[in-house]
Amino acid sequence: MFNAQLVCVHVGARTQKKEEKIQGILKEGPTTKNEVKVLFQTGSPVDVILDVCQKENVDLLILGALQKENIYKYYIGSIARKLTRNAPCSVLLLIKHSIVRVPCNHIVVNGLKDPKTAETIDTSFYVAQAIGCKRITIVEEIMQSEIDVKINDDTSLRRATIAKERISNREDIRVKDLLNCIDEDKKEGISIKTQSIFGKRGYSIGHYARVVRADLLIMNAPNKTNLLDRIFPHDIEYILSELPTDVLIVK
């Protein structure tokens, strides 16, 4: 689909049985132009995968993940999360892996005011064209603090409503500008919508994706996070703790 080479990594010792199994799986799948490379390596999963990413110059890391972390904390809780945080490339977290391909019909992209956003939106159009998705919604999350009016009574409520209106118009224009920079042929055949939502950054977009039943959520890569961010989660941490849908993190 993307004309890319697939690299499969299995963390663990190479055995005959495992190899046969993997080859069997690959045979069932659609044939690709480029040869599939299967690597076997032992070690801690996070380190091995990160290492391979670096060595092989990987552009996109695909991980299976489970929706809620508490159930299989081990997997998404440590490995997938750690990988997501540290991977040098873009990461695609799949929660809805199924044998029959479910068509992806609706992509939700973040439209944060961030230098990375332009690239993220550009990527999402590229992905949309590649997988034949017909709808993209760009969500501008506006933080409460930006409104700068504390709502106490009718007067301040009116002021806050006007301020919100103004911010969402401004955000709309900003996103429109970003959209204008994208090639027309990339946008062809895709219906584009923008939606401003007010709420906790990172959290609201996941909730929104659930409400509109998006098939793929595309987000900016987070800045470096530390322990404090995990205790007081924000942005991408919310998404990671409860994946609303398949998530692509663009780096």
Partner 1 sequence: MEDLPKNIFSGFVVSLIALPLGLGLAIASEAPPIAGIISAVVSGVMVAILGGSNVTITGPGNGLVVVLLSAITTLALGDIHQGFLYTLAAIVISGGFMLVLGFLRMGILSDFFPSSAIQGMLAAIGIGIFAKQFHVMLGYASIQGNTVDLLLKIPDTLLNFFTNSNKSTFTAGEVGIVSLLIMIYYPKIRNRIFQLIPAPMWIVVLTVGMSYYFNFISPYDYPIDKALLISIPENVLSNLAFPDFRKIFDMDFVNVVIAITLVSSIESLLSVKAVDKLDPLRRRSNINQDLKALGFATMISGFLGGLNVVTVIARSSVNVNNGATNRSSNFFHAGFLLIFVLLFQNQLRMIPLPALAAILVFTGYKLAAPKNIAKIFKIGKEQLLIFLTTLLVTIFTNLITGIICGIAITFVIHIVLKKSIFFFTRNVLKPNVLMFKEADEKQNYYVSVVNFCSFLNYSKLKSKLDQIPENQDVIVDFSRCSFVDHTVMENLNNYIQSFNSKGGHFEVIGLDLHGAHTGHPFALRRISATKRIASRNLTKRQKSLKAIAKDFHWTYRPIRKKPFEFLKEFSYFETKNIDKIKNVLKNDKCTLFDVIYTEGEFIAKQVIRSTMIHIQLDSPPPQFTLDREGMFEYIYHLAGYDDLDIEGHPDFSKRFFLYGNNKKEIEKFFTDELVLFFESNTYYHIKSGPNGLLILHKERLASVKEIKAMGDFATRLLKIIEKNNSIK
Instruction: Determine the Cα angle at 243 with ends 241 and 248, to 5°.
Output: 115
The 10 Å Cβ neighbour count of residue 181 is 9
Nearest approach in angstroms of CB 44 to partner 1 is: 27
Helix ranges restricted to H, the chain:
16-28, 45-56, 81-86, 117-131, 144-147, 154-180, 184-187, 203-211, 227-231, 236-241
Q: Which is nearer to partner 1, 96 or 166 (CB)?
A: 96
Q: Are 44 and 16 in contact (CB under 8 A)?
A: no
Nearest approach in angstroms of CB 59 to partner 1 is: 26
Binding interface with partner 1 (CB under 8 A): 67, 70, 95-98, 102-103, 105-106, 134-135, 150-154, 156-158, 160-161, 164, 191, 193, 195-200, 203-204, 207-208, 210-213, 238, 241-242
Half-sphere exposure of 224 (CA within 13 A, CB side): 1
Q: Which is nearer to partner 1, 44 or 67 (CB)?
A: 67
Work out whether the CA dihedral 58, 235, 116, 198 comes out positive or negative. positive
Q: Which is nearer to partner 1, 31 or 152 (CB)?
A: 152
Nearest approach in angstroms of CB 63 to partner 1 is: 15
Q: Which is nearer to partner 1, 89 or 143 (CB)?
A: 143
Among all chains, which residue has been given the structure tokens 């440590």? 78
Nearest approach in angstroms of CB 116 to partner 1 is: 23
Q: Which is nearer to partner 1, 168 or 225 (CB)?
A: 168
